[in-house]
Structure 1
């Protein structure tokens, strides 16, 4: 290892693939929400966005990266940006005005037609296997494309005003088409020739700005692609090579595997490989990479918060540098969109714990430091190397860890199974609950009002006592229960007023978790989540939800659901450990939740919802890995609920996912009732449950809670009628798409009242079913 010198820092280029958008204090979130309320003008919103971008570029400059990355910013979603930029605007939103119209852009994201009528927003689903949601492009059979890129180009110019070393970013044409849906199940690849004309036009405009490098993101190269889509890559990049730009083809989230040769041989100037999730590609890439091509290695993890293991990374860099020289670039594995922005804000973390973390700002510095660290290692300069302490990934096994390992090792098939079949359980449960046809319920949360948030903050800061805080929460629960009874819902929830987040709330009561104050990550639009960190072995020291659920049940004669977050969602929506397997972490969580489920049952809570919205999200991108993941993921859920009595009804909830891929695994969960998101897709997602003949009960969501629009009774009744044609009426429940945490009480009350009326309308229509 002596083939790199001290000057290596000067000939290995560094960059990141993208940066978070919200701002360290979530400035963009607050600006967007004020704009939507009419409290901020459009100019003020755009100025705030420009200031955020400027600060993020400056962070990259200050870190010493060779390129700053521009073009990845979005006021709502980067895929929506591309749709609007390429003229993919559904007819219901289309405006006669030319140019970039922000009102049209936000109508696509949030609903409402160009005429001001209520309509469904663009469908939203998960971005590959992350917890970020993108807005699905809607292609017609006669789709045409047109360029509307002035806003995006202006952002590139703004970056250039800071430094000439700007790398622009676009979503690649194949990935953009793959992420969309086409009318009548058409194949979006047929639209590629037309789309390429628009891309070519845009690339020439970028080159006219003096940009040298353009990053084109094609993460679908990490998927199992049909052969004609692979051929589409050759068509696309042979056409785009006529641009004077140097194209860096960026892949991430998965290994390329059978697509590695294709990716290496496409006529582009550079290739980026995810060295974290695609590390198995690394031994083969040099044999297939043409001698003229740049290779960007993503060796700093863009999806987790642990500090880089420099000792493990430096030998990899040296091996590649010995062959590539200055054709080697170093980078984050993917965009830093998926991690919090700045660790420096976290003043309340234990120093020994904080020293193991790196957020987006720190990861920029990690990437930038790698070439010099390699040179320093070879020169024996210990001072340089200690500027970035190596994270300690191996923890000694303590008594708790040893006990958990033993418990997991002793699990048998009976540990994962209910005592009797669903058919037996349903008969018992119906006798107990006596629910009507098309039973109505909600997913769990009710509006988190300003008063609730202020009370929580006051309690956290010590300005109000625990007694006062609990009194306020009790009053909020009373209000939620009373509202539900007045509306006429059949199965109630306590509203989760005391919960800040469906993962963080539980993590705070489990041992093994660490929490941040400002570790916000964008989920969609202005919605941010603050993932907790699994830092050591997880177990439950005491009951977490029993007291509030028992109190809520005491306020009503109607069934009250206990609400828990499932083990896979706890896992996927946390930053996880890297020193033990995901499976072991999932089983630790499941054992903790199993104790909570039994305590709820003992307390008289006979309906328990264990939410698993992240089950599909955790599915590996390569199909060959699905079976192994689904086996332990399903087992983790079943482990958490298997020990309850037949009379206890287990619910689960999933949202914004392609259910077709995992429908058999969903059935294997054996939940008595599953509620799913279907309203944005007009019940299309229900088809998977119809084709499979899903055996248990199901509640397809009848209205979109992510939109401020209150649906009509007719709209919801029509969706229910459509559902009843696909699924037996006696299997159907009626509910919103998701929790109502982000909505306001007036619209919530109105929407649920209409939902109950729609359910009653369907009961009359299908009265013969129970006759």
Structure 2
């Protein structure tokens, strides 16, 4: 007798390694400290270790080829020969140097554009479909499937980005592909996918995970045509290969039509779907000939699941599909969470009991799968621990700070607006600051050298005294103030050498945050961040940035910006408690930062930058959810910034993506100066300002800081001149795209020197009086 059972499945596993082994591997290779053979050997060890761990945790369907040497979209670009002509012509698999050239640029070729993956803090390399000639250079999915099978006996589930999403995530002539372009290019690309699928089927692959995350953004039936065409051809070409069509990050507006597509399993997000996917399942049913791959575990937050609630959800699903047609899995790849809580040895035990990183989430899936098949009694101890841990955290003093709750209650009694309109404020600021036309500045951070990192590590370990560490920070700040003055910059920064991360740093200074020891998550390439965990009520206890800003200002007569991170970015780049509404946490942070802004102003800081780089990236995928998100963003920003006098200048900074649809929100923030990343997106934001206008001051990033290449003076001049075609010269600031923390000092100094030279050249050509 065959026993019909629910099985567990995973969608993807973190790449960094428990101790960032993958990051160090990449960086050692880039520095020439590893050759290609050593790189591949060490990368293989890490891949196999990740697979073994999933096997040991009891996962039935383990993903393979979800690993990457940089980014999974870049892998797809390289595999299918979507190589921009500026890098040369390739007719075979790219070697590592050529592969990394696409992501990081070369002396003669700018790096490929990089932007955010949907609405989370991961960056992918944007495919360029200009004059492309698709060719299969590498069936990486077959290679990694075979490796897992041969080395570990794992019959894995290869993970591949679907052809339609691949096209939709890319650009041609600087614009994201529209439906007509997708329809044109799909017949050229699809034969290569067919070849990959046929080779996988010939190798005995049983299931392939075809990620089509753009399906959650479809709203019209006509938009489904390319997906249906692709799936029909793929199934016909490799009928023995079962396809799991995987969606994530939101619900399906076209549920009835999508679940009938010619695949053998449909992956639905039942965590970030606003309850809509579950409603459709329960009310509309599910096809009897397909597997429901139910995403029931949150793949981009870190809290333990309420196992009893999840089991109740599973019982609801089993009323819709039979047990042998149900897979339990994360709602999205676990790439976006840290690996394990085992290394968090300093965490409060009450907090630790409430945390679940990737390994703990897979253990939850295993427990829930057992409970679904054998009953709760078979795993009762795990359920009891889970309940006790949840109760302990929710009832703790961390989540019941009465002072914070009282401050929240008085929010409705206040109006958060600047004292005077912008036109009045900006004149007062000009008089006070006395800056030249086209003022130059940077976004905030300067290179964190190996010495900076080693000193900070020694201080954290207790091997360097507070006094010696502070003396080092002062020396580094003084050195970079002098460098900025020598370069001729107009508005300076202290360099942020005390900060590992612009969000983590503030999390360490406010109550209600936990700074992890090893909670690293990939942001892009080898860049790992440790998002702080907001687990309790947030409160301000003491000044955070005032001393560093005041010290830097004492070294120069030029203005030095105070540097803060705004509430929404802290929210979007943190793991946020899920027991109260996110907007409530956001306002708690805003109330705390409002006090810091006031203290900076009292200390004599004339310019205060409150960065909101993650505002656009966190925009909900569906337009119907935009208004509440954007209204909440403006409200929390104004709580933070509107307590200052008219002649104190408020700056903010934003990164990446298409801003045209949030220009109204950018205006509503009422910041005096905004800087926006534009160089990798080739100035697309400029058209938005051309059509809508903008009355405040603005700096559009004039060179890309994510690439090690040094832009020429002429290249920067071109970027400036392009912006000045639509932005008045009196409004415009000159700055790099983003902070310079990840760059090396020589390239930073050279690039900034060229930036100032480009400004001076343009300034000399203008017959316009200075401010």
> What is the TM-score with the length of structure 1 in the denominator?
0.95
Deviation at residue 384 of structure 1 after TM alignment = 5.3
The residue aligned with 1:367 is: 365
The residue aligned with 1:351 is: 349
The residue aligned with 1:617 is: 617
Matched position secondary structure for 2:711? coil
Task: Pick closer, same or farther for the CA change 1:419–1:413 going to 2, 3 Å.
Answer: farther
Deviation at residue 49 of structure 1 after TM alignment = 1.2
Matched position secondary structure for 1:768? coil
Matched position secondary structure for 2:204? coil
Range that drifts further, 321-330 or 13-22: 321-330
Deviations 1:137-186 (A, max 9, x none): 1112x433211224342111111122243111111111111111112645
Distance 2:158 2:399 in 1: 51
Distance 2:400 2:647 in 1: 33
Distance 2:228 2:399 in 1: 56
> What is the TM-score with the length of structure 2 in the denominator?
0.95
The residue aligned with 1:605 is: 605
1:305 aligns with 2:302: yes
Q: Which residue, 123, 127, 130 being the options, matches 1:133?
A: 123
Range that drifts further, 328-337 or 656-665: 656-665
Deviations 1:444-480 (A, max 9, x none): 0011111111111111111111011100111011011
Matched position secondary structure for 2:85? coil
1:486 aligns with 2:481: no
Task: Pick closer, same or farther for the CA change 1:567–1:308 going to 2, 3 Å.
Answer: same
The residue aligned with 2:755 is: 755
Deviation at residue 127 of structure 1 after TM alignment = 0.3
Matched position secondary structure for 1:100? coil
CA contact 1:565–1:611 (8 Å) conserved in 2: yes
1:216 aligns with 2:210: yes
1:61 aligns with 2:17: no
1:154 aligns with 2:148: no
Distance 2:377 2:444 in 1: 59
CA contact 1:100–1:151 (8 Å) conserved in 2: no
1:655 aligns with 2:648: no
Distance 1:352 1:154 in 2: 44
The residue aligned with 2:11 is: 17
Range that drifts further, 187-196 or 117-126: 187-196
How is 1:141-540 mapped onto 2 (pairs within 5 angstroms)? 142-161=131-150, 162-183=152-173, 185=175, 187=178, 188-190=181-183, 191-225=185-219, 227-242=221-236, 243-244=238-239, 245-256=241-252, 258-278=253-273, 279-285=275-281, 287-322=284-319, 323-375=321-373, 377-379=375-377, 382-383=380-381, 385-386=383-384, 388=386, 391-392=390-391, 394-395=394-395, 401-412=401-412, 415-540=415-540
Deviation at residue 227 of structure 1 after TM alignment = 4.5
Deviations 1:636-678 (A, max 9, x none): 1111001111100000111122211211111111111111111
Deviation at residue 189 of structure 1 after TM alignment = 1.3
Deviations 1:670-714 (A, max 9, x none): 111111111112222322222221221111111111111011111
Task: Pick closer, same or farther for the CA change 1:413–1:725 going to 2, 3 Å.
Answer: farther
Deviation at residue 111 of structure 1 after TM alignment = 0.7
Distance 1:296 1:251 in 2: 10
Q: Which residue, 68, 79, 104 being the options, matches 1:74?
A: 68
Deviation at residue 324 of structure 1 after TM alignment = 1.8
Matched position secondary structure for 1:415? coil
Matched position secondary structure for 1:617? coil
Range that drifts further, 372-381 or 475-484: 372-381
The residue aligned with 1:730 is: 730
Distance 2:621 2:443 in 1: 28
CA contact 1:519–1:530 (8 Å) conserved in 2: yes
Deviation at residue 366 of structure 1 after TM alignment = 1.3
Deviation at residue 375 of structure 1 after TM alignment = 4.8
Distance 1:168 1:225 in 2: 29
Distance 2:234 2:281 in 1: 23
Q: Which residue, 91, 94, 99 being the options, matches 2:93?
A: 99
Deviations 1:612-646 (A, max 9, x none): 01101221111000001100111111110011111
The residue aligned with 2:664 is: 664
